[in-house]
Amino acid sequence: MQVIKQGSAIRSIVQALRCSGKSIGFVPTMGALHEGHLQLIRAAALQNDITICSVFVNPAQFNNPDDYKLYPRSLEQDIAALEAVGCHYLFAPTATDMYPEQTLLHFSFGVLEEVMEGAHRPGHFNGVAMVVSKLFHLVQPHKAYFGQKDLQQVAVVRQLVKALSFDLEVVCYPTIREESGLAMSSRNKRLDVQQREHAAQLHQALLLAQKQIGVKSVAAIKTDVQTYLAGVPELQLEYFEIADPATLQPVPDPAAAEVALCIAAHVGPVRLIDNMIVKPQQLA
Ligand code: AMP
C-alpha cells in the first residue's frame, strides 16, 4: 500500500488509474480504524479494481474542541490494518493541505440537518459536506463506502452527491458491533471497561424500543427508553427519535413503514450515537 500525503499526488495517481480503465472504491475515515471501517475496505476491495482509504481527522466537522483534540489517532496501526485487508492507497493529508485557506462556502441540507445530529451539533454537517466534497474531487471514486452507524451522514452525503452531480455511487454497510452490542466507534477507545459496559446499554435501549414498534405509540416508546436509561446514571441520554431512514424526519406511526430508531448519549467523556432500522416484516 502506498501512503499519499498530498492532494495533488493522489489526484494524479487517480487520473492515471481512471485513464487505464480501473474502477476506484473509496472509504473516507477519520482513522483509529476498527472492524466497522475494515468491512468497508473489504467490500471496496471486492467490488473495485483499486481501493483507496482516507484518514483525516477533519477539524471542520467538530463542534467541540476537546473532542477534536482528544480524538484517537493511530496512523501506524491504521497502516498495518489497511495493508492486511488489501487497501492499495491510503490518503492521509494534513489539515493545511486540505484547507490551505479559509472558505466562506456554506452547505445547507434543509430539514435533514434540523433534526438529531444536525440540531445537536451545529456546523457538523457543513464540515462533513465540505470534506467529503473535497475528498470526492481529489479521489474521484466510482463507489464511496459509508456505514449505517452514521445514518444521518449517509443521508446528507446522498443529498450532496445528487445536488452537486458527483458521478459516483454511495454504498452503505450495516453497523458492526462489539459482543456486548456496543456499536464500534473510534471514540470507544476513550472509554474505560465500566464505561464500555454502560455504553452497551444504548443498544439494549434500541432493542427494547424495537420490540415496542407496532405495539405502543411513539410517545410511549420514547418514555420507555428514557425510563430504561434513567436506570443507568453514568449515561446521559441526549435524544431518542423514531425517524424515516431516508429523510430522518420523525415518523408519527412507526408500525406503518420501515423506521430508524436513532439514539445519542454521553458516557463519561464521550458522546456516542447508534441506530437500528426496523423493517415492517420484523414487526410483531
Ligand atoms: P469515521 O472514521 O468515524 O468517520 O467513520 C468512517 C466510516 O466508517 C463512516 O462511513 C462510518 O459510518 C463508518 N463506520 C464507523 N463505525 C462503524 C461501525 N461500527 N459499523 C459500520 N460502519 C462504521
| DSSP assignment string, 42-76 | HHHHHHSSEEEEEE---GGG-S-HHHHHHS---HH
User: Which one is predicted more confidently, 137 or 254?
Assistant: 137
CA distance 204 to 181: 8
Q: What digits encode the pLDDT tens for the residues 30-51?
A: 999 999 999 999 999 999 999 9
Task: Give the residue, by CA position, lying nearest to ligand 1 atom 15.
Answer: 36
Q: Please confirm, yes or no, whether 37 is among the known catalytic residues.
A: yes
Contacts of 178 (CB under 8 A, 6+ apart): 184, 188, 196, 200
- Catalytic residue chosen out of the listed positions 34, 37, 88, 124: 37
Task: Give the residue, by CA position, lying nearest to ligand 1 atom 22.
Answer: 147
- The strand pairing partners of 271, in sequence order, are 266
Task: Give the residue, by CA position, lying nearest to ligand 1 atom 11.
Answer: 147
Q: Which of 29, 132, 171, 187 to mutate to test the pocket of ligand 1 (most atoms within 8 A of CB)?
A: 29
Order the strands of the 235-243 sheet from edge to edge. 235-243, 259-267, 270-278
Averaged pLDDT score across all residues of the chain: 96
Q: Is the Cα torsion angle 74, 173, 48, 131 positive or negative in sign?
A: negative
117 pLDDT band (50/70/90 cuts)?
Answer: very high
- 168-86-272 Cα angle (round to 5): 70
pTM: 0.97
Q: What digits encode the pLDDT tens for the residues 162-220?
A: 999 999 999 999 999 999 999 999 999 999 999 999 999 999 999 999 999 999 999 99
CA distance 124 to 170: 20
- CATH topology (fold) of 186-276: Pantoate--beta-alanine Ligase; Chain: A,domain 2 (3.30.1300)
Which CATH superfamily groups domain 2-173? HUPs (3.40.50.620)
Domain boundaries, the chain: 2-173, 186-276
The pLDDT, as a whole number, for residue 256 is: 76
